[in-house]
Structure 1
Amino acid sequence: MIASNHVFSQPISTFELEQAAQGCWDTIVIGAGVAGAATAIHAARNGLRVLLVEAKSFPREKVCGGCLNRRAQDAIARLGLADQLRYAGSVDLSEIHIQVHRVGFSWPIPSLLSVRRSTLDSMLVSHAISQGACFLSNTTATLEPIESPEDASQFESRDPIAVRLRSTRSTNSKTLSNSLAMANTVVVACGLTRSALKPSSHWPSNIDPASRIGVQSLVELDRLNAGAPELGRILQANGNRLHMIASRCGYVGICMTDGQMVDLAAAIDPATIKHDQPISKSVARILLDCGIQTGTFLDSCHWIATPLLTRQSASVAKPGIFLCGDALGYIEPFTGEGMSWAFDNAENLTPLLLRCTKTPSQRIETLQKWESYVKAHRKLRQRVCKWVAKQARHPLRSQWVLKACHWCPPFRNKILKEAIQ
């Protein structure tokens, strides 16, 4: 474990709302999570004039297991941030313990890193700013159609895309209504809710009604040891172990993260959450099913939640507009697949942004290329996640899979390699 008391300086806006409406941007990136910030880094590094817009201020937490698999670590290294990630106090996870009810096994795993999402996102946004991107926080962004050709005539692009910007701090409605920015390309990376697309009915999303809901709480290790000693002992036995605890109601991931914090992240059936209100009781039920007593401690923790997780966007792009990361769709990920998917998206989208900016007439061609990329890689990378999520819904079947992994190392190694790499 690498512990650090270092706190990154939090990224703040480098631009005023009124300035964003001057001229035409090469790219506006909506959402400063992993997908959005990484896209801004790549685009700015390649000479594009980039505006990165985030609805909240930093630091801010997001529901996330916080695991970086090898693909994500390699992507961070290509961004030039490997040393900063270590300096931030990331934790090496060298072992995984998977338990379904009372059946559990521990195995060594390829290198995983655990990092707090607020730390990772702040690091990425700060790096985007250092590469030349402009950053606007506390600002919502929504796509808007251009009402008439005259509206766009003053801008550099002959066919710009309009983005409405609204400060979450301002109360001046007149100022808000006039904050319109233009761009040659727009990247929508604002997560599952896709808030930037709300006014439009042209971006349908297929949501699995049986999907689970993601929840998370970050707890100080000392507080956990005092309030839930049984859970604390699990982490004290091996601070470099990732615990995956599953029952019929859902599953909970537990690991150490930077700053001596414990990351409790879970995917839970909506029916269980509805029955067990508050959320903490659903998490406690899963742990209790597996023999781990937490008493009422989890009720005192601060929990945040996602909408239904499993979804897929029916449309991934329009001319000059690209969905990226969770906005493309999401299934229950396994040990870091969600973040590596976001990094992959950012890296592969950048050449298309460059082409759109240099040659606007190729917007249709770049749209088709992004559709082809997403279709191929979504199927390739998410098949293991689908399989894991399916098994996790059936405890008896999951226990048999665990036993097969235990008694057949080649089978186990294949599963772990595909899931974690």
Structure 2
Amino acid sequence: MPHTPSGVVDADVVVVGAGPAGSATATHLARRGLDVALLEKTTFPREKVCGDGLTPRATRQLIRLGIDTSTEAGWLHNRGLRIYGGGGQPFHLDWPDLADFPPYGLVRPRSDFDDLLARNAVAAGATLYEQANVVEPVLDARSDRIVGVRCKDGREFRAPLVVAADGNSTRLSVAMGIAKRDDRPMGVAVRTYYTSPRSDDDYLESWLELWDGPPGSSNLLPGYGWIFGMGDGTSNVGLGILNTSSAFGHTDYKALLKAWLDTTPEEWGYRDENMTAPVRGAALPMGFNRQPHYSRGLLLVGDSGGMVNPFNGEGIAYAMEAGEYAADAMTDAHRRGVGTPQAERALQGYPTRLKAELGGYYRLGGIFVKLIGDPRVMRLCTRYGLPRRTLMRFTLKLLANLTDAREGDVMDKVINQLSRLAPAA
């Protein structure tokens, strides 16, 4: 990667942010022969607030990136979802057996996961620059297109195309005038870790009803909870609240987490004395809440473009998928000559593809979060839906977006048709 005499680094593409979105984008670009500068504002390994659980959809993208997802490589596999709700025994649902997706999910801490993906991008040919804290775009005075970025320490990285993979706050997108849409769903999640005998668990665990005392005879709390065994003697435990809930923005999330966990059996270990990390929170930008995903040489990937699934709060799978779509569009644009009308058509293909693949499904998700924002609806769903295995299998496929595109069963065809008929988000 050339350095000009002024200290500016030139590349074919600058990717800002080395989380799953940025590292996946950089990997696919480098494999297609482009010169990629991957910028990370901190140094690896570093923490991120996350549930650490991955569905088969995310697993598929890791395999496409060439990541070894075996247990021998340090991954904890899971076989499905255990659901608590409705006052009865937990309900177990295995991941569906599909042609388009592997039959297992994964668990891995984000501090290790993000480091692994960044090193994978480097192995593919990208150049990683850590402690590169981007503060502003560099614009071409004539075209007003982005042609690079400037870091806090004065370094500049120049390229005809730039990727904003810098998370929900996405200072780069904001500086380029791409505003957040308030008509799209938003969530907030908090999580921490506890030492627990439930650490080795081959199911991800979801709690659809949270109570501040004995279940069924106390106050129902807003939101949903999760417990994911990490396989290292600890569990990742957290909860999320959607902005369709009246409690959004008016809740002490740490107290809410404690109130719920105090109702779980003491022998599980989810008490303050077993907590191994502070309670930390993060925003969940959903349903394409920042658009356009391509403008004036800048492509938005992952949380910067609001790509979290409204149905289940999953963001990593879609960040990595979008990274591959963006890499396809940028590679095509480079072949056509960036700056030409032909290249612009290729780049506009990126948001078009996103809407075609996910827009209708995300619109359905927006309707879903409005419904479950009413606790009465959530109570009815858990009470009357959980005992019905066929309905729950359908719900799992819908919420996790796990269907076969062509030769699927009746459930797959219904979900796929609903997504096609819904207007794009």
TM-score (norm 1): 0.77
Contact 1:103 1:399 in 2 (8 A): no
2:47 maps to 1:61: yes
**Which residue identity lines up with residue 292 of structure 2 in the other structure?**
S
Does the 8 Å contact 1:184/1:357 carry over to 2?
no
- 3-state SS of 2:44 partner: coil
1:140-151 mapped onto 2 (5 Å cutoff):
140-146=133-139, 148=141
Residue equivalent to 2:169: 193
Cα deviation, residue 302, structure 1: 0.8
Cα pair 1:28 1:185 within 8 Å, conserved: yes
Aligned partner (choices 79, 94, 106) of residue 91 of structure 2: 106
Q: Which amino acid aligns with 1:305?
A: G
Matches within 5 A, 1:374-413: 374-383=354-363, 385-386=365-366, 389-390=369-370, 392-413=372-393
Contact 1:34 1:121 in 2 (8 A): yes
Q: 1:379-416 CA distances to partner (integer Å, 9 max, x unpaired)?
A: 24435644654454344433432344444322221211
Count of residues in correspondence between the two structures: 372
Separation (CA, whole Å) in 1 of partners of 2:165 and 2:366:
22
Greater mean deviation of Cα atoms: 254-263 or 39-48: 254-263
Secondary structure of the corresponding residue to residue 139 of structure 1:
coil
The answer to which of 205-214 and 255-264 deviates more is 205-214
> Residues of 2 paired with 1:352 and 1:20: CA distance?
31
CA spacing shift, 1:302–1:325, aligned 2, 3 Å = same
* Equivalent residue in structure 2 for 1:284, among 252, 258, 278: 258
1:135 is matched by which residue type in structure 2?
L
Instruction: Map Cα deviations across residues 239-290 of structure 1 (whole Å, 9 max, x no partner).
Output: 222221233421221111253331123213687586664x4212123345x6
CA separation of 1:365 and 1:113: change in aligned 2, threshold 3 A: same
Match of 2:278? 302
* Residue type of the alignment partner of 1:416: L
Larger CA deviation: 34-43 vs 339-348: 339-348
Q: What corresponds to 1:27 in structure 2? A: 13
Write the letter of the residue equivalent to 2:187.
R
Q: Partners in 1 of 2:238 and 2:4 — Cα distance?
A: 39
Letter paired with 2:256: S
Unaligned 5+ residue runs, structure 1? 1-14, 153-158, 168-175, 226-231
Hey, what's the Cα distance between the residues in 2 that align with 1:19 and 1:240? 55
Do the aligned partners of 1:326 and 1:342 also contact (CA within 8 Å) in 2? Answer: yes
Any idea what the Cα deviations from partners look like across 1:128-147, whole Å, max 9, x if unmatched?
A: 11111100111112442436
Aligned mates of 1:101, 1:410 — CA distance in 2: 17
Structure 1 residues 115, 335: CA separation in 2 closer, same or farther (over 3 Å shift)? farther
User: What is the TM-score of this pair, normalised by structure 2?
Assistant: 0.76
**Structure 1: distance between partners of 2:292 and 2:93:** 40
> Secondary structure of 2:152's match?
strand
Matched residue type, 2:259: R
Cα separation, 2, equivalents of 1:75 and 1:274: 33
User: Which residue, out of 160, 180, 201, partners 1:205?
Assistant: 180
In structure 2, C-alpha distance between the alignment counterparts of 1:29 and 1:344, rounded to whole Å: 16
Segment drifting more, 260-269 vs 347-356: 260-269
Task: Sort the Cα spacing of 1:283 and 1:384 in 2 relative to 1 into closer, same or farther, 3 A.
Answer: farther
Bigger drift between 306-315 and 267-276 goes to: 267-276
Match of 1:348 in 2: 325
Alpha-carbon separation, structure 2, partners of 1:118 and 1:404: 39
In the alignment, which of 240, 265, 271 is matched to residue 202 of structure 2? 240
Other-structure match for 2:299:
322
Structure 1 residues 21 and 100: alpha-carbon distance in aligned structure 2, compared to 1, 3 A threshold: farther
- Let me know the Cα RMSD of the aligned residues: 3.3
